[in-house]
Structure 1
C-alpha cells in the first residue's frame, strides 16, 4: 500500500467517524473517542481458506485503545457476500479475534478478504490471494507486515511467523528422548473409546473420557493402571455441569498445587446434550465423595472470550502452572503488557490454567478467580495444527504440547523465553516403536520415579486400538 493510499484511507475513516462518534473506539467503554488512526489500527491479520469451518478471517488490533467493531462488515471479492460482526464485539489492544465466515460465503483459491465499517462502504483493510492457504495466509509481523504462507494455523493468537511458530530452540523433529518401545498399560477392553486427558498424582492416574466421565486409576502391580474399585470409582464417575444438568465433553484434566484435595479441573468443549454448540469451559469438581456422579462446583465458561471454533474442535488439553514458576521465569501478562503479578488477581488457585484448542493449535493461559471471573493472560501458537494434551513438567520447567495422529504423534516442549512468552525448545517424534495411534492424553511421572536417568510416561489412545486405551514408555529425566 502506498503512503498516499494510506492517507486517503485515513481521511475517509476520519470523515465517517466524525459523523458517527459511537463507532469510535472507546465510545462505549468510557475512554475518549477514537480518531481515524485508531480504527485503522484494526488489521486483517490471518486468512484460512481450507474449507468448511476453516474458512476464517482474523482481525488484530495493533493500536493502543480498545475498538468496538460491532456491525463492521467482512466481505470476500463478491460485493453481495457479507458477514456482519455481532453486536458487543470489541477488540482490545494487541488482541486477536477470528470469524468463521463459511456459513455466509466460501473463501476461494483466487479471492479477497475485505473489512468495512458499519456502512459497508468505508474500507478499513483488505488482502487478496491467488491460491489457497497452505494452511494459513498470515501477516508477519502481526498487524504490520506482509502476508505470507505460514505453516501453522494460529487463529486467535500470534501468527506462526518463524519456522516453528514458537521461536526459541530447534523446530526440526528429533527422535523421542527415551525408550523407542512402548507397552500396553491397561487391561483388555477396560475403557473402550474416548479416553482422553491424563494427569498423574503420585500413585493415582486421573483420566478424562469424552463421554462425560472422570476416572481414578490405581497401579495394577505390573507397571500399568486399573480403575479404583472404591468410593464409586469402579466404572468412572459421570460428570455434570453446575446444577446437575448436561454431559460435559470432558477432554482434559489437571490438578493444582493442592492436589486432588483442592478439586479436579476438567476442560470441556461442549455439552454432549447439545453437541452442535461449542461450550469451552473449565469445570471444577470435588472428587472426595462416594457418589457415582459429580456435579461441578464451578464453571468458567470461556466461549465468548475465544475465536469461534467447531463444536468438536475446542478444548482438548489443560494444565496448571504455579505462579512461582511463572514469575521466576519472567512470564509476561498479555492482559497488561507487563510482568505477571499474581497479586493483582486475588484468590485464584495460585497459578494459571493453560488450555489447548484442537482446531487451531493455539494455547491460552487464564487466571481463574475463585469467585468466578477470569482473565486471559496469554495466547500463543503451539507450532502444530492441533493440541490434544498439555502437561507442565515442574522438574524441567517446561510445557509439553501433544498432537495426536493428525500430526503423526508429534510432541513439543516450550519454555518462557527472554521476552516473557512461551517459545518452542524442542520437537520430538513419537517413540519409533509406537504406531500412529490417536493419542489424546499424555502424562509424565514425577522426579521421584526417575531410575537410571529415565522415568515413566503414559499415553491415552482415544480410539482404543487393539482393545487398549493406555500405553506406557519412558522419557529422560
Structure 2
C-alpha cells in the first residue's frame, strides 16, 4: 500500500556559482548519475515477460498475472513481484516456467495488498532489476487486463486469471446480448420447501434429474406428473444421499454433477470446491460415485481427482461450481486443440479414461478448464477457456445443438452464453442470452436442458436450480429452442 508521508517544507538555496572546472565536475557527475538511473536493458527472453492482468478487489484474492509474449520458454523462478512499496515482496516459486503465449496468475494477498491507487511491479531475482510495471488510480472492476495479451494497453475487463484476457467489448467477446431463445414464461418445478437452500448443479438423464446440493448431498429426482420433479422415494434417495470422500470421511461441498456416455451405471461425477469439515481451505476436486446400486443414505466416492495444485488459487468458497462432459469423438470431429501439446486433441495419448473430457467452471474467476481424468487418478489439463463472465455457476454440453452452455447467476443478471469449437480448435463465444423475460433475477446455480427426445414444435423444456430457494421453490421450468 502507498506510504503516508508528512508534507515537508522547502528550503531556499543560495545560487550556486560554478567555475568552468566545477561545471565540468558537476557535468560529469550528472552524466554518471544519469547512467546509473537509466533503465537497465533486458536481454530476451527476460524482456518477453509482461504483467498481463491485475486484480485488486472482488471475488478472488489480490492477484498479478504474467504473460510470455516471446518465442522461448522462460524460467521465472525467484522473480519478484512488488506493489508500490519496496518493502513488499512476493517471490515466484521455484520451478515456475512460462511457455510462449502462456499465462500464470499469482495470489499475492499473503505478501501484500493491492490498493485502489497502487502499482504492480515485476523484478528479476534479487528485486533490483525492473522488468515491467503497471499503475492505477482505481480498483479493478473486476480486472485490469492488457488487450491484446502481453502487448496492449491496460483496461477494465472481465476477470480471466490463468486464461487469455477477455478483449471483447463490454466483456462480451464482441457479441451483444439478445433475448432468451425460447419462451418468456417460467414456472416452478418442485413442491413447496422440498429442498431448502443450496440446491446447485443439475443434470438431466431422461426421466431422472440429478441435483447436487452444496450442503453435501446428491439428489435423484423423478417426474411428478405435472411437468416438475420430486425426490425419488426408493433405494434411500428420499432425502438425498450424503456425500463422502474416498474412505468415507469428510463432507464434500458438491456444487455440480454430470454423467458420461455410460449414464448412471458409469457413475456420477461431482465437482466440489472444499471439504465442509475444513471449510477455509480450497479443495478443487472431481469425485466419482456409484449411484446405480445401494439403498443406504450416504455415498462414498470411489475416486477423487484433486486438481487444486494445478490451478490458480481462489477463495475456499469460490472454486469449482460447474461440470460437464464432452465425448472424445465429438472433440476430435470438431478439431479441438489440446493446450498441453499445442496439437489436435488425440485421445490415444492418454491412458484409460472415461472416453471424454470434463470441463469445469470456476466461480471466482469465470474460467473454464478442460481435463482428461484418467482411471489411474492422473489428470491432464487440455483447455483453459475465458468465459467472459465474472463467475461460472453451471456448464452443460448440449449434443443436439453442439454447443456448450456457460451460465452465471444473479452476479451477472442471469446471463447465459453458448460456445462452440472454432477454426483454431478453441472454444469461442457463439451467443449471449438474457434470462427469460418472465424470470426474476434469481440465484440460479443450476441449469439443465432436456434431451432431443423432448423437442416438440421446435422447443423443449429447460430447468434451473435456485440456490436461494426463492419463494420456497428451488426448481423452475422454461423452454428453449431445439
Give TM-score, length-normalised by structure 2.
0.89
Distance in 1, matches of 2:101 and 2:252, equals: 32
In structure 2, the residue matched to 1:157 is 163
Describe how 1:156-305 pairs up with structure 2 within 5 A: 156-163=162-169, 167=173, 171-288=175-292, 289-305=294-310
Structure 1 residues 241 and 6: alpha-carbon distance in aligned structure 2, compared to 1, 3 A threshold: farther
Deviation at 1:65, TM superposition (A): 5.0
Deviation at 1:69, TM superposition (A): 3.2
Structure 1 residues 51 and 384: alpha-carbon distance in aligned structure 2, compared to 1, 3 A threshold: closer
In structure 2, the residue matched to 1:464 is 469
Query: Which stretch of structure 1 is more off in the superposition, 267-276 or 281-290?
Result: 281-290
Structure 1 residues 165 and 405: alpha-carbon distance in aligned structure 2, compared to 1, 3 A threshold: closer
In structure 2, the residue matched to 1:427 is 432
Deviations 1:46-67 (A, max 9, x none): 0112268442101123345554
Deviations 1:39-96 (A, max 9, x none): 4333211011226844210112334555443332210111011122334444344332
Equivalent pair of 1:68/1:90 in contact (CA under 8 Å): yes
Greater Rg, structure 1 or structure 2? 2
Distance in 1, matches of 2:102 and 2:298, equals: 39
Query: Which stretch of structure 1 is more off in the superposition, 334-343 or 450-459?
Result: 334-343
- Kindly indicate whether residue 101 of structure 2 is the aligned counterpart of residue 94 of structure 1: yes
- Aligned with 2:41: secondary structure? helix
Distance in 1, matches of 2:379 and 2:372, equals: 6
- Aligned with 1:10: secondary structure? coil
In structure 2, the residue matched to 1:346 is 351
- Kindly indicate whether residue 131 of structure 2 is the aligned counterpart of residue 124 of structure 1: yes
Deviation at 1:103, TM superposition (A): 3.1
Query: Which stretch of structure 1 is more off in the superposition, 128-137 or 317-326?
Result: 128-137
Distance in 1, matches of 2:107 and 2:196, equals: 34
In structure 2, the residue matched to 1:374 is 379
Equivalent pair of 1:48/1:135 in contact (CA under 8 Å): yes
In structure 2, the residue matched to 1:112 is 119
Deviations 1:213-263 (A, max 9, x none): 111100111111111111111111111111111111100100111111111
Distance in 2, matches of 1:359 and 1:326, equals: 27
Equivalent pair of 1:166/1:380 in contact (CA under 8 Å): no
Distance in 1, matches of 2:180 and 2:450, equals: 16
In structure 2, the residue matched to 1:24 is none
Equivalent pair of 1:166/1:422 in contact (CA under 8 Å): no
- Kindly indicate whether residue 63 of structure 2 is the aligned counterpart of residue 59 of structure 1: no
Equivalent pair of 2:274/2:283 in contact (CA under 8 Å): yes
Deviation at 1:104, TM superposition (A): 2.6
Distance in 1, matches of 2:450 and 2:419, equals: 18
Equivalent pair of 2:190/2:228 in contact (CA under 8 Å): yes
Equivalent pair of 1:51/1:102 in contact (CA under 8 Å): no
- Kindly indicate whether residue 433 of structure 2 is the aligned counterpart of residue 401 of structure 1: no
- Structure 1 gap ranges (5+): 12-36
Structure 1 residues 302 and 92: alpha-carbon distance in aligned structure 2, compared to 1, 3 A threshold: farther
Deviations 1:273-325 (A, max 9, x none): 11111111111111122221111111111111111101111110000011111
In structure 2, the residue matched to 1:31 is none
Structure 1 residues 369 and 202: alpha-carbon distance in aligned structure 2, compared to 1, 3 A threshold: same
In structure 2, the residue matched to 1:147 is 153
Distance in 2, matches of 1:330 and 1:7, equals: 45
Structure 1 residues 296 and 160: alpha-carbon distance in aligned structure 2, compared to 1, 3 A threshold: same
In structure 1, the residue matched to 2:42 is 10
- Aligned with 2:314: secondary structure? coil
Deviation at 1:129, TM superposition (A): 2.5
Query: Which stretch of structure 1 is more off in the superposition, 114-123 or 209-218?
Result: 114-123
Among 429, 453, 467, the residue aligned to 1:448? 453
Distance in 1, matches of 2:117 and 2:220, equals: 52
Equivalent pair of 2:144/2:157 in contact (CA under 8 Å): no
User: Aligned-pair RMSD on alpha carbons?
Assistant: 1.9
Among 46, 51, 61, the residue aligned to 2:53? 46
- Structure 2 gap ranges (5+): 1-36
Query: Which stretch of structure 1 is more off in the superposition, 230-239 or 133-142?
Result: 133-142
- Kindly indicate whether residue 423 of structure 2 is the aligned counterpart of residue 418 of structure 1: yes
Deviations 1:179-208 (A, max 9, x none): 111111111111111000000000000000
Deviation at 1:7, TM superposition (A): 9.5
Distance in 1, matches of 2:59 and 2:194, equals: 36
- Aligned with 1:211: secondary structure? coil
